[in-house]
Amino acid sequence: MTDPHQTPPAAGTTTLRVRYVECDPMGVVHHSSYLPWMEMGRTELLREVGESYAALEEAGVFLVVTKVEVKYRRPIRYDDVIEIRTKVDKASKVKLHHSYEIALIERAGKSPDPSDPAVPSDGVCAIASTELACVGIDGRPKAMPDWLVGS
């Protein structure tokens, strides 16, 4: 387990290229692909301090998603490069709240053209939030480790 004095960062970014499997037949990212991307963002925050979900689970700490909200502003397409911006908004003894921006950073091998109506002026194609609750192996609410919430 990680050093209990090393709290994960409150924000981070993860970059990825959209894969074909994440898209519908028109080459547009399917709405279901955003949830794994958000999980990747959360996971990378933990990795920055040498921790993983697997290690948390081995210690009997399970983080389950209890709420998800996504607002889709513009479509993301196959082979686009995106940046997942993840931020911890609030942490309590039992819940973690994250917010996300999914931003387009490359399309067709170059920076997106903000004058293109298919590209938002700020580059952010989707905004989202999640709420996670901490439970034990029995599925009942459990206090998070202090290091995880910054106590």
Tens digits of per-residue pLDDT, 73-106?
Answer: 999 999 999 999 999 999 999 999 999 999 999 9
Amino acid at 26: M
Q: Determine the pLDDT at residue 2.
A: 44
Please give the model's pTM, rounded to 2 decimal places: 0.90
Domain 11-149 class, CATH top level: alpha beta
pLDDT-above-70 percentage for the chain: 96
**Is 138 designated active site?**
no
Q: Does the structure show a pLDDT above 60 at 14?
A: yes
* Per-residue pLDDT band at 1 (split at 50, 70, 90): very low
Domain boundary assignment for the chain:
11-149
Q: What is the mean pLDDT of residues 45-53?
A: 87
* Per-residue pLDDT band at 128 (split at 50, 70, 90): very high
Query: Position of tokens 């908004």?
Result: 89
Phi-psi region of 144 (alpha: psi -120 to 50; beta: other; left: phi over 0): beta
**Active-site residue, selected from the candidate residues 3, 24, 89, 113:** 24
Three-state secondary-structure class, residue 112:
coil
